[in-house]
Structure 1
Amino acid sequence: MVPDFLLPEWVPNAHPLIVHFPIALIFVAVAADALALWLGERWETGQEVATGLYAATGLSAAASYYSGTWAIDTVPIVTPGAASTLSTHSFWAWYTMVSTSGYALLRTAGLFVSWVRARPSAHVVLFVLGLATLYPMYETGENGGAMVYKRGVGVTRVQEVPSTASPAPDSAQPDTMQASESTPRAEAP
């Protein structure tokens, strides 16, 4: 767990700072793997680079998952919808950690098996398996985004919105009155 004095005052816990690493790394790993597949032997270390990126993805997914389990204690979950979304997010986060870490181990083991390294068809199979790790990452991110942006978990109100009945005199908000309400009506004689 990260001590509070190391965190900026605007963040409730370390999870939002950590969670974006596996998201970025998995896309870079897939791109490097696609490039290594396309270039073949013209990029001699392509498979090693992609494998290293997948290993970094797996490690950062584990750090992100555990920072999320610690984060649960730092934010209030006040609605049943938020609790349900948290449960779904937690499941997909665990699945993402297991799938990316497991895949990284598979890729690493493949580096030491000569027939896997020598056959382009084995690389194609490994590439497709790597693409499959994008789906749990997507589901985790989708539910994590719903936690914050739909359910408001981990978000504190910094500024109160003025009521519509008495806007602040220096308010830059446009007048929301209907045109028919704002124009005076001609009285019939």
Structure 2
Amino acid sequence: MVPDFLLPEWVPNAHPLIVHFPIALIFVSLAADALALWLGDQWETGREVATGLYAATGLSAVVSYYSGTWAIDTVPIVTPGAAQTLSTHSFWAWYTMASTSGYALLRTAGLFVSRVRARRSAHLVLFVLGLGTLYPMYETGENGGAMVYKRGVGVTRIQEVPPSSSPAQDSTRRDTVQAAEPTPRTGAP
């Protein structure tokens, strides 16, 4: 758990700061893996680099998942819709953590099995399995975004609009910005 004094005042907990690491890392991992697959023997350490990135993705998914479980206690869940979205988000977050971590272990084990290392077809199969980790991450992010942007979980109003200081102004009147009227054209372009 991250102490409050280490967090900026605008963030309710560390989860929003941590959650973006596995999202970014999965795309970097897949890009490195695609490049390693495409280049083949021209990039001798390509599989190892991709596997290391997948391991970092799996570890960051674990940290992200647990930061989310700790974050639940720091934000109010006041509507049944928010509670349902949180439950769905939590399920997909666990599934994302399990799938990315499991995949990282599979890739790491594949480095030590000579039959897997020697075959490009095995690398292609592993790459396709890696693509499968995108779906649970997508669902996790989709439900996390819905919690914040649709349900308002973890969002606080930071700045209030100050009341009008002029007593002559009607408090129900709203100032609006109006578009400038077009000027009439005189002459040819």
TM-score in terms of structure 1 length = 0.87
Pairwise CA distance, 1:166: 3.3
Distance apart, 1:165 and its partner CA: 1.6
The question of 1:61 aligning with 2:68 is answered no
Q: What is the distance in 2 between the residues matched to 1:124 and 1:162?
A: 60
The number of equivalent residue pairs is 171
When the two structures are superposed, what TM-score results if normalisation uses the length of structure 2?
A: 0.87
Q: Which residue of 2 aligns with 1:148?
A: 148
Aligned residue number for residue 123 of structure 1:
123
Cα distance in structure 2, aligned partners of 1:161 and 1:59: 42
After the TM superposition, list the runs of 4 or more consecutive aligned residues in structure 1 that deviate by more than 4 angstroms. 161-164
Q: How does 1:20-169 map to 2 (within 5 A)?
A: 20-160=20-160, 165-167=172-174
Report the CA distance between 1:160 and its aligned residue.
3.3
- 1:162 to partner: Cα distance: 7.6
Q: 1:186 matched to which residue of 2? A: none
**8 Å Cα contact 2:10-2:158 kept in structure 1:** no
Q: Which moved more, 1:154-163 or 1:44-53?
A: 154-163
Partner of 1:16: 16
The one-letter amino acid of 1:166's match is R
For residues 166 and 154 of structure 1, what CA distance do their matches in structure 2 show? 31
Q: CA RMSD in A?
A: 1.5
Distance 1:38 1:76 in 2: 48
* Structure 1 residue runs without a partner (length 5+): 176-189
- The one-letter code of the counterpart of 1:96 is T
